[in-house]
Amino acid sequence: MAIRDNKRALKVIRSLHSYQQTQSGKIDMLCKDMVSAHREFSTKLATVNFVASYYESLLGCTGLDDLLDTAVQCIRRAVKEADAAVLLLSENDVDMHMADTGVADPVEKKQFQ
């Protein structure tokens, strides 16, 4: 009788272990999905935050030069170690606006022609 009880207990233990492994795999998959979703949400939220602060900054501008300087500075703050310029197109020419960077060799209009 003891042997039969032991076999029955062993069968139950194996069944529980198998169930635990299945549940563990499902939990791991859910955790990975949650981390991935959080990463994607954080990226989208950062984009929305940048766009909102960018437009708020532009709303305070009164002139074209102020607007262009503000736009370039916002992009520089958002993209580390990057520079930015605004190209204004007219029918016959391209005008480049670059905010003061303090860089020794700034980009010049002739480099784009």
Domain boundaries, the chain: 60-113
Look at residue 11 in the predicted model and tell me its pLDDT: 93
Mean pLDDT for the chain overall? 85
* Residue located via tokens 């607007």: 67
- Whole-number pLDDT of residue 81: 75
User: What pLDDT was estimated at residue 106?
Assistant: 60
pLDDT at 110 over 80: no
This prediction has a pTM of: 0.59
Burial class (CB in 10 A: 0-12, 13-18, 19+), 76: middle
Q: How far apart are CA 88 and CA 83, in angstroms?
A: 17
CA distance 98 to 107: 8
| pLDDT of 98 strictly over 80 | no
Residue 18 clears pLDDT 70, i.e. is over it: yes
